[in-house]
Amino acid sequence: MSPLSTANAEFCLDVFKELNSNNVGENIFFSPLSLLYALSMVLLGARRSSAEQMEKVLHFKHDVRSLKPEFKDSSKKYLSCSEELFGTRLQPVDFEHSLEETRETINAWVESKTYGKVKNLFAKGTIDSSSVMVLVNVIYFKGQWKNKFEERETIKAPFQLSDGKSVIVEMMHQTGMFKLAFIGEPQMQVLELPYVNNRLSMVILLPVGLANLKQIEKQLNLKTFQKWTSSSNMVKREVEVHIPRFRLEIKYELNTLLRSLGMTDIFDQMKADLSGISPAKHLYLSKVIHKSYVDVNEEGTEAAAATGDSVGVKRLPIRAQFMANHPFLFFIRHIDTNTILFCGRLTSP
């Protein structure tokens, strides 16, 4: 994996573990790639301890500013560099005198960039006239399965919840050739469902046997994730796939989460050093809000966002069955680079 892909995966799993501890048993969905790029824009203008903390949280081994050797502490240079590196730029707004107008303008921009899927990112009262800088970033993805599910094959079936109860869901079904791994400890199946053009795929981690999702989450780290999803363990074979049709829309305010990971100074008016963005004093990051949307159906996936050592291949039966009728983890990733675009946990469709 490249340094950027490694940083992306480590940051993704850090954020997932924090969300997991604060949202026990709930659905989770976010875009680590979107968050990584957005926070990198802030890092580009951060200095001293503010920059050091951000680099550590984002798992950057080298200062992002080294990407542009000629970049100095000039705010004009920051604007041109952020536009060149990230395809975007700072937008000055007036929170103090035009709060509602500014809020509506930001929300309209986000909604248009996500084709109407992410609405009202900043609810009324989320930002106030004392806000200095807010971070707004969106990512939109709509992918068609390489092998679509037929609607006539979708049936109503029970989905077992973590508390032992069950709900009736629309369970999609198809049989085809897919990459599948059988993991011994903890017991799970790992299925890869490619999208058209084989550039992106959804990887699902499904507990089987006596294992449950908590056991997988407990052992989930960069090393185990790479091992569980490695090409040497994913064997292409005929698989009977059953996964639920589901749609998630989740919003997080990430100030507290990022602080808990070690990114503290950037949110403190007295400690934040963003002198690479502006020479003005007391410039700090007021809010990091992330809202994500995903729709998984027979056609494919539509997604948007505004983050055990024992592996054994068992003797394979003629046809394997992948029955996702209970909680599982899923990742949408770029196949060649292993960059994670989206990460989620489905506990209740």
Every domain of the chain and the residues it spans: 3-142+248-294, 144-245+308-344
- Residue 315 has a pLDDT of 40
Cα distance between residue 50 and residue 59, in whole Å: 14
E-state strands within the chain = 28-30, 134-135, 139-144, 155-160, 166-183, 188-194, 200-207, 235-244, 246-253, 287-296, 300-305, 320-323, 328-334, 339-346
- Residue 3 has a pLDDT of 84
- Residue 16 has a pLDDT of 97
- Residue 85 has a pLDDT of 63
Residues in the chain: 349
- How would CATH label the architecture of 144-245+308-344? Roll (2.30)
- Residue 308 has a pLDDT of 30
Q: Which residues of 14-23 are buried (b: 16+ CB within 10 A; e: fewer)?
A: bbbebbbeee
Mean pLDDT of each 10-residue bin along the chain, 349 residues long: 88 96 90 90 88 94 49 59 63 76 86 84 78 71 88 94 91 95 94 92 94 94 94 92 92 93 93 82 83 86 55 50 96 93 94
- Looking at domain 3-142+248-294, what is its CATH homologous superfamily? Antithrombin, subunit I, domain 2 (3.30.497.10)
Report strand pairing: 300-305 vs 287-296.
antiparallel
* DSSP at 241: E
- Is the distance from CB of 303 to CB of 141 less than 8 angstroms? yes
- Residue 191 has a pLDDT of 97
3-142+248-294 and 144-245+308-344 agree in CATH topology = no
- Residue 312 has a pLDDT of 36
Cα distance between residue 330 and residue 344, in whole Å: 5
